[in-house]
Amino acid sequence: MNGVQLLLIAGAGIAVAAVARRKGLEPGMFVVVLAAAASFLPGMPRLELESEVILAIVVPPLLYSAARGASFAGFRRNLRPIISLGVLLVVLTAGALGLIAGWLLPSIGAAAFVLGAVLAPPDTITTVSHGEEIGLPERATSVLTGESLVNDATALTLFSIAIAAVDGAHTTVGAGVAEFFRSAFLGVGIGALLATATLLIRRWLRDATLETALVLLLPFTAFLAAEAAHVSGILAVVMASFLVSVNLRLDPNHEYPGAYRTRVRENEVWPVLDFLLETFVFAYIGLQLRFVLEDLVSAGEPGLGRTLLAAGVLLAAAIVIRIAGVYALFGRWMLRARMTARRRERDPVFRAARERWIARGGLPPDPPTQRETLLAGWTGMRGILTLAAAAAIPETTSSGVPFPGRDEIQAIALFVTLGTLIIQGTTIGALARLLRFDLAGERAAREQMRAAGRALLAGRDFQEQRAAVRTAVRDRTLSEEVARELIDDIDLRQAASSDPM
């Protein structure tokens, strides 16, 4: 792929996305569909990238940007449903889809579980990005955001284990679990270490352009450093993003003259980078459709017809497993909450211990409602990671033989992604409206908190305003989400009132 082709893809993506947004369509879905159709144009060349490039270049900045907007407090508060969806359900989904793929396509052998790992993680962040217009409750938004940051790491760990198994490495369930925890723990550690170094260097740079450039390098550095150590690059990126974004906005120790300029610039840069990368990936994968189909026709077993049949079955299975898994995991949570409530009524000792724990700030979140459960179950669209992981499958194994089922896996990943985007992506808004979430109280409470935050700013200079907001977060009178909004507003006002950046 040459530079001219890259520029043409980006330019076409901008035009397509503009049309999609005016029509009220999801730009990513629109780009994929049109790119897939364009692949059949006479003379359309096949675009080739090294298998590692998409995962190493596209995924890290997209994850970093998503984590920048996530609430660390919300993540911690909803840790149970996030782990349930982002770890347990992804593992169950990968295993179930792998078994189904192995039954449908016996010729690809152990690579069926590579396909299961590729199809397992839903792209819930796409839903969250439109949460306000769809009408998602605040907790649903927080849970789905957290899930999107964890499920990618789970799926890529399973993907790596499955690739190694196809390559001849011996592995067991116990070894896989141990590898997951080792990879997660060390990945988080590497991300924290690099975030700390970045924060220290930024204070020394004191230049908005240099500081922004440094942060743009951070997701790539965290991902590649972790992957080089054979641990989770995804979690390294997520942890680095959490620590840098939270500290730069909410920790007074990381406030220094001119820091607001860097925050303003980063808030402008990341959305542009997100758009370009997402557009490129969707267009690149869509443009592979014709050539993937041609490869399936010429490859023989299992053939085009059987692969398309498998794609349809796996699409239906992915949707059903997501819904059933969410109901099972959240239903267990609801049952446990009812049992705890009954025990509190019967057992005074347990009730007293529970009340002491709650008084110390250990109030557990209520289990999801039936409406929230149904909505979470329907947010199963596959997206960037599924497409990127499929593209990252090596062409050959370490012994030099073609990787089994590579063409079939890439074709199925494309069809399942398209199917979920069309079936679920176009109906999630209608479902949210049909469920009629009562958000009036939630919105009123948030606006009341915003008003309280704005009252803190009256009669203070910019630095005093930031200090007041950070103190309010520490005292838990302001939420992290509202505090970030206020800090961003202060930054913009200070930038507007000072010399040009």
Task: Check if the beta carbon of residue 411 is closer than 8 Å to that of residue 286.
Answer: no
Predicted local distance difference test score (pLDDT) of residue 205: 86
Q: For 13-30, how does the pLDDT look when each residue is reduced to its tens digit (9 = 90+)? A: 778 777 777 766 667 777
Residue type, 296: L
As given in the structure block, the two tokens for residue 489 are 């507003």
Predicted local distance difference test score (pLDDT) of residue 96: 94
Predicted local distance difference test score (pLDDT) of residue 243: 87
Portion of the chain with pLDDT greater than 90, in percent: 14
Predicted local distance difference test score (pLDDT) of residue 130: 59
Range 314-321 average pLDDT = 95
pTM: 0.81
Q: For 31-57, how does the pLDDT look when each residue is reduced to its tens digit (9 = 90+)? A: 777 888 888 888 777 776 665 677 788
Task: Check if the beta carbon of residue 122 is closer than 8 Å to that of residue 89.
Answer: no
Instruction: Say how many Å lie between the first and final Cα of the chain, rounded.
Output: 36
CA 31 to chain centre: 19
User: What distance in Å separates the CA atoms of residue 9 and residue 281, rounded to the nearest whole number?
Assistant: 10
Confidence band of 245 (pLDDT split at 50, 70, 90): confident
* Cα dihedral: 393, 188, 71, 382 (round 10): 10
Confidence band of 393 (pLDDT split at 50, 70, 90): confident
Range 81-100 average pLDDT = 91
Predicted local distance difference test score (pLDDT) of residue 318: 95
User: What distance in Å separates the CA atoms of residue 98 and residue 120, rounded to the nearest whole number?
Assistant: 9
Backbone φ and ψ of 402, nearest 5°: -60, 140
Beta bridge partners of 396: 402
Would you mind telling me the total number of residues written for the chain in this entry?
501
Predicted local distance difference test score (pLDDT) of residue 197: 92
Confidence band of 501 (pLDDT split at 50, 70, 90): very low
Residue 62: name the closest of 368, 373, 271, 284 by CA. 271
Higher pLDDT pick, 67 / 226: 226
Confidence band of 172 (pLDDT split at 50, 70, 90): low
DSSP letter for each residue of 287-300: TTHHHHHHHHHHH-
User: What distance in Å separates the CA atoms of residue 241 and residue 233, rounded to the nearest whole number?
Assistant: 12
Q: For 249-273, how does the pLDDT look when each residue is reduced to its tens digit (9 = 90+)? A: 777 777 777 778 888 888 888 888 8
Which string of b and e fits 360-391 if b means at least 16 CB within 10 Å?
Answer: eeeeeeebbbebbbbbbbbbbbbbbbbbbbbb
SS3 278: helix
Task: Check if the beta carbon of residue 283 is closer than 8 Å to that of residue 39.
Answer: no
Q: Is the pLDDT of residue 220 over 90?
A: yes
Higher pLDDT pick, 151 / 344: 151
Average pLDDT of the chain to the nearest whole number: 81
Portion of the chain with pLDDT greater than 70, in percent: 88
Which CATH number is 49-437 given? 1.20.1530
Range 405-423 average pLDDT = 87
Predicted local distance difference test score (pLDDT) of residue 126: 64
